[in-house]
A and B are shown apart, each in its own frame.
Chain A
């Protein structure tokens, strides 16, 4: 006994020294904690020229896919680990929120699952009879709970700018800051009668304050409040969405907010889409809008098709009928949008 005690003491102190001298010894404090994600693979080397044009076009995403599937850890949250079923993150709306192109949905953008953080980027172009729309934006999704988004829209009046007296090619610019919170329900799972329900806001700021006031708008910025319910009715392969929007935005806010004597009104956005496959969905949307400025602002409709080329890349093409914009009727045309999500 007398020999063992000092022995153990020596061993312990040796071990102790070793441990304190070498801070690089890693250990996992909790046995069943999820393993630490391996370090992210270095970006893939530039892909050699691939034969198929499609492959070549998607090649730059290969590195991103590796990142997306391996995931990173940020404190207790999984970053970019993904996990959502294809298309269940929706596609970017004109205002940068997750939805169906024109209508906001109750979906949360990004590919993350509960406990994860995801993100997406998008770019959208709409070519109308007389106008051109370009928008792009970024979105962060937190679990299946919260979505924060920002989008910038540039609306080019082209030749019509002369007619409107603002100069050829004058562009209206709009910033939209969005937030959406899922209150209850699940898009896919749970009772068919219980949709995913979310509330949200969209705070918009026109960058053309003086001009939109001259057009009669009461303000250059405004905030929409939305309440959305969205459900994938698997038995019919149908996705149904309804959103109530409390808004005073003129043409989404491009032409400012409200007017003398015209404040917030309640408007409806509806979407109905049919799932052709895991990757493909076709649908139609309707969005009612106020006409505060008396410029015969119309409700919007679209027919859209969305396709998930990969887990991360979704493209949306649509035919849109936006009616009259700033008194110029017949604004129909094509809508094309690409979204990359992690």
Chain B
């Protein structure tokens, strides 16, 4: 009996919020809009430079051909991101980020490093991955997904490893835990 009275009293004391409250505004969250042209969310300004790609590019036409040229590389980058988004080991890390942008910037980075003549317009590896708390296990998972994407694209194993050779030293900037 006492319990019922209590519950009723507590319910009466509740005040329903006004209909149609704009909670984002209420909590001071500015809505982010995807760019209608690129489909990407805007990012805080940073200095663009190919140095942000983290390594010097190869200069080998044979290597570029092994990756299927620019189109091949861009497809491999996008596929790596797709596989990672679907990989239960690391999917959660990607879920809250802009995958449209990542597919583009990762494609640029790989294309630049392999020497297929792209410019890298993304952020440097340290600032792109700061605060993500990435582990070596996360990196191994990503490497396996990249290997799977390259395998699907028919890239010979030695050529796959040459790309990984460019990325392996970046582990120091990416893995923070």
Query: Would B6 and A190 count as touching, CB distance under 8 A?
Result: no
- Does residue B172 face the partner (Cβ distance < 8 Å to A)? yes
A234-B161 in contact (CB<8A): yes
A24 contacts the other chain (CB 8 A) = no
A96-130 vs B: 1/0 string, CB under 8 Å?
00000000000000000110000000000000000
Chain A interfacial positions (CB closer than 8 Å to B): 3-4, 6-8, 10-11, 14, 83-85, 113-114, 144, 186, 188-192, 233-237, 275-278
Contacts of B5 in A (CB 8 A): 3, 7
Q: Which single member of B3, B171, B172 contacts A10 (CB below 8 Å)? A: B3
A7 near B136: Cβ-Cβ < 8 Å: no
Q: With A and B bound together, what is the CA distance between A278 and B161 in angstroms? A: 10
Question: Does residue B16 face the partner (Cβ distance < 8 Å to A)?
Answer: no
**Pick the contact of B6 from A7, A113, A114, A235 — CB < 8 Å?**
A7
Task: Tally chain B residues at the interface, Cβ within 8 Å.
Answer: 27
B140, A190: Cβ atoms under 8 Å?
A: no
Task: Give which listed residue, A6, A8, A190, A275, contacts B168 with CB less than 8 A.
Answer: A190
Residues of B within 8 A of A236 (CB): 161
- A237–B155 CA distance with the chains assembled, in angstroms: 14
In the complex, chain A residues whose CB is within 8 Å of the CB of B168? 188-190, 192, 234
Per-residue CB contact flags for chain B residues 144-176 toward chain A (1 = under 8 Å, else 0) read: 100100000000011001101100110110010
Q: A113-B136, A113-B137, A237-B161 are in contact. Are A186 and B171 (CB under 8 A)?
A: yes
B66 within 8 A of A: no
Within 8 A of A (CB), among B112-166: 135-137, 139-141, 143-144, 147, 157-158, 161-162, 164-165
6 nearest A-B pairs in the assembled complex, by CB-CB distance: A7-B6, A189-B171, A234-B165, A235-B165, A83-B137, A113-B137
Do B10 and A7 touch across chains, with their CB atoms under 8 A apart?
Answer: yes
Question: What is the distance, in angstroms, from A35's C-beta to the closest C-beta of chain B?
Answer: 11
Contact A3 B9 (CB under 8 A): yes
| Contact residues in B for A277 (Cβ distance below 8 Å) | 157
User: Which among A3, A83, A191 has the highest number of chain B CB atoms within 10 Å?
Assistant: A83
Chain A to chain B contacts (Cβ below 8 Å), 17 pairs:
A3-B9, A4-B6, A4-B10, A7-B9, A7-B10, A11-B3, A85-B144, A113-B137, A113-B140, A114-B135, A189-B168, A189-B172, A234-B162, A234-B168, A237-B157, A237-B158, A276-B157
Q: Nearest Cβ distance between residue B67 and chain A, in whole angstroms?
A: 15
Main secondary structure of the interface of A (DSSP, over half): loop
Pair B136/A114 contact, Cβ less than 8 Å: yes
Contact of A278 among B147, B171, B172 (CB under 8 A): B147
- B43 within 8 Å of A (CB atoms): no
Residue of B nearest to A84 (CB): B140
- Tell me if B62 is interfacial: C-beta within 8 Å of chain A: no
Query: Which B38-53 residues have a C-beta within 8 angstroms of A?
Result: none
A190's partner among B2, B144, B162, B169 (CB-CB below 8 A) is B169
Quote the shortest CB–CB distance from A192 to chain B (angstroms). Answer: 7
Q: Is the CB of A275 within 8 A of B171?
A: no
Contacting residues, chain A, for B137 (C-beta < 8 A) = 83, 113-114
* Smallest CB separation, A118 vs chain B (Å): 12
User: Considering only CB atoms, which chain A residue lies closest to B158 in the complex?
Assistant: A237
A72 to B156, CA, bound (A): 37
Given contacts A3-B5, A7-B5, A190-B168, contact A275 B157 (CB under 8 A): yes
> B1-30: contact bitstring with A at CB < 8 Å (1 yes, 0 no)?
011011001100100000000000000000
Contact B165 A4 (CB under 8 A): no
Q: Report whether B2 and A10 are in contact in the complex, using a CB–CB cutoff of 8 Å.
A: yes
| Set B13, B136, B169, B175: member contacting A192, Cβ < 8 A | B169
